[in-house]
Structure 1
Amino acid sequence: MTTETEEPTLTIDELAARTGVTVRTIRFYGTKGLLPPPVIGPRRVGHYGREHLARLALIEELQRQGMTLAAIERYLGQLPPDLTARELAIQRAVVASWAPGTAERVSREELERLAGRALAEEEVERLAAMDVVERDGASFRVDAGLLRLGVELLDVPLSQKTLLAARATLTEYSRAAAHELSRLLRDAVAERDARDVRSLSAHMQPLVVQALLTTFQRSLKEELREWMDGDARG
């Protein structure tokens, strides 16, 4: 496995086996600009890393939402070119939120396939504590849209207590924002037909989620910059 600061280590055949995407499709995505080029190593062998894995997962989610290849190309073209694997995972979670979350029952083997890696028992317990997976006898109930983000959190060097506290904070403020935005939309369409309201809601949901994500990312970067600058001055 690679980290975000390590060199890419997967060949195109290994990338295909890891993601279930054919070598031919990976090369096609590269020619369309949907995937960045591999890093050329010794013997002119291309190597792929976490960003390529994350981009393929995002493309898969966009396809699951019914987007055409042209629409996917436009969507990816609007993203900043230097997004990290974790930021791409967040984008994927946002896309998955456009559709109603549906939990599916899977085996342990299928859970690890969806996660993209083997999971130790302790890691499964952490995912359960974060409400990403739920044990159901010998199987698991999981929302695939949340799973990859949950797996990314397994590698974050923070305690389970801190992660759960962060989750509670995000839940509290996101619900407050959703309530206020819902009130504004209700007031704006109060006189419209119910079908118009449903259509507007379906159209607005991905836009609002994307706006919230962008605003939050900028605010978080500002907070972290002030924190790091304060430490540097101290």
Structure 2
Amino acid sequence: MTTETEEPTLTVDELAARAGVTVRTVRFYSAKGLLPPPVIGPRRVGRYGQAHLARLALIEELQHQGMTLAAIERHLRQLPADVSARDLAIHRAVVASWAPDTVETMTREELQRRAGRPLGEQDLERLAAMNVAVPDEGGDGGDDAYRVDPGLLRLGVELLDVPLGLDTVLAARGVLIEHSRAAARELSRLLREAVAERDSTEVKSLSAHMQPLVVQALLTSFQRSLREELREWLTDGEQPTRES
């Protein structure tokens, strides 16, 4: 795994596996200009990083929204050339907010392909506990079927590698849900009061226009607040040095 400050380390095979696509798809997107070229390392081997992975996730999300390849190409062309993996992830979250809540039924094989990695029994238990991929007991898909939330799948898979206990992850999820719902209620109240006298058709149009903007504002403000909290936490742990 790479970070924003590390050199890209993923081969094309590793990138494809992490993104849950084929190598052929990666090369096709690269040829179309949807992915920036890799960093060429020793032995002329291309290396990819987190920005490539985040861009693949964004392309997948745009496809789920029903955008054609040409429309996706135009959409990506509007992004800054040096856009970071973090900003791409935020952009993808905003795009995902446009879509209605959906649940897909898929086999374990398909789930692993979409996850971009093998999933052991413990992994599946954690995904089920997070309500990301739940066994479809009694459904039409058979014993090997799972009900999957596509919007949460990539996040859930990334959380499998976070060195935190499941109880902590679920507690954090509860905190986020509780406070996001509280923020949604307050924002909804403010918007209702602001458009109380308007026509219902106009209200629906305004709501559809505002939703991605509100989500982007929430993501940005939360990101900055979390950065400040972490900075204070780390600073408090540092002891001032005494001059001798």
- From 109, 116, 140, the counterpart of 2:146: 140
The question of whether the paired residues in 2 share the 8 Å contact of 1:92 and 1:145 is answered with no
Label 1:91 to 1:152 Cα distance change in 2 as closer, same or farther (>3 A): farther
Label 1:157 to 1:90 Cα distance change in 2 as closer, same or farther (>3 A): farther
The offset of 1:14, in angstroms, is: 5.9
What does 1:216-231 align with in structure 2 at a 5 Å threshold?
216-231=222-237
The question of whether the paired residues in 2 share the 8 Å contact of 1:112 and 1:119 is answered with yes
The question of whether the paired residues in 2 share the 8 Å contact of 1:19 and 1:53 is answered with no
The structure that has the greater radius of gyration is 2
Question: Could you say which residue in structure 1 is the equivalent of 2:110?
Answer: 110
2:27 equivalent to 1:26: no
- From 76, 80, 86, the counterpart of 1:77: 80
5+ residue gaps, structure 1: none
TM-score between the two structures when normalised by the length of structure 1: 0.86
5+ residue gaps, structure 2: 138-142
What does 1:208-219 align with in structure 2 at a 5 Å threshold?
208-219=214-225
The offset of 1:3, in angstroms, is: 4.7
Distance of 2:152 and 2:97 partners within structure 1: 9
Label 1:229 to 1:173 Cα distance change in 2 as closer, same or farther (>3 A): same
**What root-mean-square deviation, in Å, do the aligned CA atoms of Structure 1 and Structure 2 show?**
2.3
Write the deviation string for residues 32-80 of structure 1: whole angstroms up to 9, x where unpaired.
xx53431211122212234312211112212332452222332x339x7
Structure 2: which amino acid aligns with 1:54?
A
What does 1:71-220 align with in structure 2 at a 5 Å threshold?
71-74=75-78, 76-77=79-80, 81-84=83-86, 88-89=88-89, 91-137=91-137, 138=143, 139-220=145-226
What does 1:46-65 align with in structure 2 at a 5 Å threshold?
46-65=46-65
Question: Could you say which residue in structure 2 is the equivalent of 1:9?
Answer: 10
TM-score between the two structures when normalised by the length of structure 2: 0.83
Q: Match of 1:134, SS?
A: strand
Larger RCO: 1 or 2 (CA < 8 Å, sep 6+): 2
Runs of 4+ in 1 over 4 A off after TM superposition: 13-18, 87-91
Q: Match of 2:100, SS?
A: coil
Distance of 2:155 and 2:89 partners within structure 1: 6
Q: Match of 1:232, SS?
A: coil
Distance of 2:75 and 2:38 partners within structure 1: 24
The question of whether the paired residues in 2 share the 8 Å contact of 1:105 and 1:141 is answered with yes
Q: Match of 1:198, SS?
A: helix
Label 1:202 to 1:24 Cα distance change in 2 as closer, same or farther (>3 A): same
The offset of 1:104, in angstroms, is: 0.9
Structure 2: which amino acid aligns with 1:191?
E
2:39 equivalent to 1:39: yes
Equivalent residue pairs, number: 224
Distance of 1:229 and 1:36 partners within structure 2: 37
Q: Which moved more, 1:58-67 or 1:138-147?
A: 58-67
Structure 1: which amino acid aligns with 2:38?
P
Identity of aligned residues (%): 62
Label 1:170 to 1:111 Cα distance change in 2 as closer, same or farther (>3 A): same
Label 1:147 to 1:89 Cα distance change in 2 as closer, same or farther (>3 A): farther
Q: Match of 2:105, SS?
A: strand
The offset of 1:83, in angstroms, is: 3.0
